[in-house]
């Protein structure tokens, strides 16, 4: 009963959140105003014998190529790499990052190095998804852990020594292109929906007093920048973000059978249906009754097999023989099913109250909802996660 009350509370909470309008700032984001992933391949040097082993071919080749570019000719077979580790460097380029801005980087070993502690990352270009270099990284690696071991095989490790971080270790060299395109900006919905996209475009047009916005598809709205805002795009975007729009929502019931959680949207409706719920309980008890011989009873004759009576059978055992009599008790209880009639078009609160009147548990409610959906009486999508 308590869980059903929790479900009703969550359902009404979801209804309350959908019924009120939200700012466009919460519903969508402007194209280009997001972080961009960067990645690069580099070398960490200065390790204390914890680098890649000699069998790591790509580390040896990378070190030989770097030395060649620096004017040092050396054979790859003559290089020992125990103080060098090959790493992958990753970073996030924040929106509006300018040239010279410093960003943090993550350094991860891709060879068989045991630790990056004390190492220094050499100059590493960081590229975006388009293959262009947007930043370069270099600097000492901060691991925040250690790994030490003895000759006998004992080892002590703290945290994860093969992944490190360089705060402010990358310098931005290229800026992301402006988010304006042909004098217009694009707004992308976080949850694509055709109805919500139309409402956003209509709300912008009402606010700005003209047809400057139109929905391109379920996820994007294109907005032309008015002439009075051409030199001040920031106030224009700020005014758009403050516009309130009531988003549309799907009629959906989400069920998590692992935790017994049910969340229903406000638009879920149920056609006229009668629901009956009852429990069948079967209880079986196995007992063993032991009959001991009387004191000073004579022993059974030699070769006498043990007496194993059937349940309910009375047997007289010869001599002083112990008899074990099994006994089974079977009890069947069937709860009288209660029938609840749910009228067509009722709200989610009425649905929960009707099912609550049956005294069902959360697990039973999951089965009832699945049966209602199988009967074609659930007007909404049933999703099991």
Q: Which residue(s) pair with 105 in the sheet?
A: 91, 166
Position 104 scores a pLDDT of: 95
User: Is 283 within a domain?
Assistant: yes
Percent of the chain at pLDDT exceeding 90: 28
* Rounded Cα gap, residues 263 and 13, in angstroms: 10
Are 43 and 159 in a shared domain? yes
User: Is 378 within a domain?
Assistant: yes
The terminus-to-terminus CA distance of the chain in angstroms comes to 23
Are 288 and 385 in a shared domain? yes
* Rounded Cα gap, residues 56 and 60, in angstroms: 7
Taking alpha carbons only, the member of 107, 99, 100 closest to residue 40 is 107
Are 253 and 385 in a shared domain? yes
- For residue range 257-282, what is the model confidence (pLDDT) as tens digits? 777 777 877 777 777 777 666 654 44
pLDDT at 141 over 90: yes
Position 289 scores a pLDDT of: 63
Position 297 scores a pLDDT of: 57
- Tell which of 126, 146, 172 closes a domain: 172
The pair of three-digit structure tokens given for residue 250, joined into one six-digit string: 């799907």
* Rounded Cα gap, residues 228 and 179, in angstroms: 18
Are 118 and 209 in a shared domain? no
Domain count, the chain: 3
User: Is 311 within a domain?
Assistant: no
User: Is 154 within a domain?
Assistant: yes
Position 18 scores a pLDDT of: 43
**Strand order across the 28-30 sheet:** 28-30, 184-189, 220-224, 213-215
Are 125 and 73 in a shared domain? yes
Q: What's the rounded mean pLDDT across residues 33-60?
A: 89
Tell me the HSE value of 283 on the side-chain side, using a 13 A CA sphere.
Answer: 7
Give 66-134 as a 3 state SS string: HHHHCCCCCCHHHCCCCCEEEEEEEEEECCCCCCCCEEEEEEEECCCCCCCCCCEEEEEEEECCCCCEE
How would residue 145 be classed by pLDDT, with cut points 50, 70 and 90? low
Are 56 and 100 in a shared domain? yes
Are 40 and 164 in a shared domain? yes
- Tell which of 131, 148, 172 closes a domain: 172
Confidence (pTM): 0.60
* Rounded Cα gap, residues 117 and 50, in angstroms: 8
**Mean model confidence pLDDT for the chain:** 78
Q: CB 24: neighbour CB atoms within 10 A?
A: 24
- For residue range 298-339, what is the model confidence (pLDDT) as tens digits? 666 666 666 555 555 555 555 555 556 666 666 655 555 556
**Which has the higher per-residue pLDDT, 163 or 377?**
163
Question: Whole domain around residue 269: which residue ranges?
Answer: 1-20+249-294+320-385
Q: CB 172: neighbour CB atoms within 10 A?
A: 21
User: Is 101 within a domain?
Assistant: yes
Task: Give SS3 for 297.
Answer: coil
Are 42 and 28 in a shared domain? no
The pair of three-digit structure tokens given for residue 326, joined into one six-digit string: 């099994």
- For residue range 65-123, what is the model confidence (pLDDT) as tens digits? 888 888 888 887 778 788 999 999 999 999 888 999 999 999 999 988 888 988 999 99
Under DSSP, the state recorded for 272 is S
Most confidently predicted of 16-30, 56-70, 152-166, 368-382: 56-70
**CATH code of the domain in which 184 resides:** 3.90.1150
Task: Give SS3 for 381.
Answer: strand
How would residue 291 be classed by pLDDT, with cut points 50, 70 and 90? low
User: Is 257 within a domain?
Assistant: yes
* Rounded Cα gap, residues 248 and 193, in angstroms: 7
The pair of three-digit structure tokens given for residue 288, joined into one six-digit string: 């063993």
Residue 72 sits at the vertex; the CA angle it makes with 122 and 119, to the nearest 5 degrees, is 25
User: Is 313 within a domain?
Assistant: no
Are 337 and 214 in a shared domain? no
The pair of three-digit structure tokens given for residue 312, joined into one six-digit string: 């309910």
Contact present, 238 and 207 (Cβ < 8 Å): no
How would residue 168 be classed by pLDDT, with cut points 50, 70 and 90? very high
Are 354 and 370 in a shared domain? yes
Largest CA distance in the chain: 118
Contact present, 269 and 251 (Cβ < 8 Å): yes
pLDDT at 162 over 70: yes
Are 111 and 152 in a shared domain? yes
Measured CA distances, 365 to 1, 140, 266, 277, 345 (Å): 11, 58, 18, 10, 19
Helix 362-374 crosses helix 2-19 at what angle (to 10 degrees)? 60
User: Is 315 within a domain?
Assistant: no
Position 6 scores a pLDDT of: 47
**Which has the higher per-residue pLDDT, 289 or 59?**
59
* Rounded Cα gap, residues 45 and 50, in angstroms: 10
- Tell which of 129, 148, 172 closes a domain: 172
Are 206 and 259 in a shared domain? no
């Amino acid at each position: 009963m308590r869980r059903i009350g929790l479900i009703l509370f969550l359902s009404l909470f979801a209804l309350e959140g959908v019924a009120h309008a939200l700012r466009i700032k919460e519903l969508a984001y402007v194209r280009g105003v997001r972080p961009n992933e960067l990645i690069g391949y580099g070398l960490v040097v200065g390790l204390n014998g914890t680098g890649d082993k000699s069998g790591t071919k790509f580390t040896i080749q990378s070190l030989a190529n770097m030395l060649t570019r620096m004017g040092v000719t050396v054979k790859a077979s003559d290089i020992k790499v125990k103080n060098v580790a090959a790493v992958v460097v990753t970073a996030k380029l924040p929106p509006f990052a300018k040239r010279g801005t410093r960003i943090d980087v993550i350094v991860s070993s891709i060879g068989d190095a045991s630790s990056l502690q004390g190492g220094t990352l050499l100059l590493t270009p960081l590229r975006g998804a388009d293959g262009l270099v947007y930043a370069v990284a270099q600097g000492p690696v901060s691991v925040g852990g250690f790994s030490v071991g003895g000759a006998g095989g004992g080892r002590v490790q703290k945290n994860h020594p093969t992944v490190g971080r360089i705060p402010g270790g990358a310098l931005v060299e290229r800026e992301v292109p402006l988010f304006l395109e042909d004098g217009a900006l694009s707004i992308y919905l976080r949850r694509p929906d055709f109805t919500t996209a139309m409402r956003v475009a209509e709300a912008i047009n009402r606010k700005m007093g003209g047809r400057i916005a139109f929905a391109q598809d379920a996820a994007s709205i294109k907005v032309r920048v008015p002439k009075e805002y051409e030199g001040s795009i920031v106030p224009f975007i700020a005014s758009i973000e403050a516009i309130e729009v009531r988003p549309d929502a799907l009629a959906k019931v989400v069920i998590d059978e692992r935790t017994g959680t049910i969340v229903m949207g406000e638009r879920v409706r149920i056609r006229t249906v009668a629901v009956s719920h009852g429990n069948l309980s079967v209880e079986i008890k196995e007992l063993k009754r032991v009959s001991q011989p009387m004191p000073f009873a004579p022993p059974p004759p030699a070769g006498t097999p043990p007496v194993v009576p059937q349940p309910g059978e009375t047997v007289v055992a010869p001599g002083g023989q112990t008899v074990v009599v099994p006994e089974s008790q079977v009890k069947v209880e069937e709860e009288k099913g209660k029938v609840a009639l749910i009228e067509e078009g009722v709200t989610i609160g009425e649905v929960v109250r009707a099912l609550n009147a049956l005294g069902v548990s959360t697990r039973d409610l999951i089965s009832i909802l699945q049966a209602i959906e199988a009967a074609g009486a659930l007007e909404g999508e049933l999703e099991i996660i």
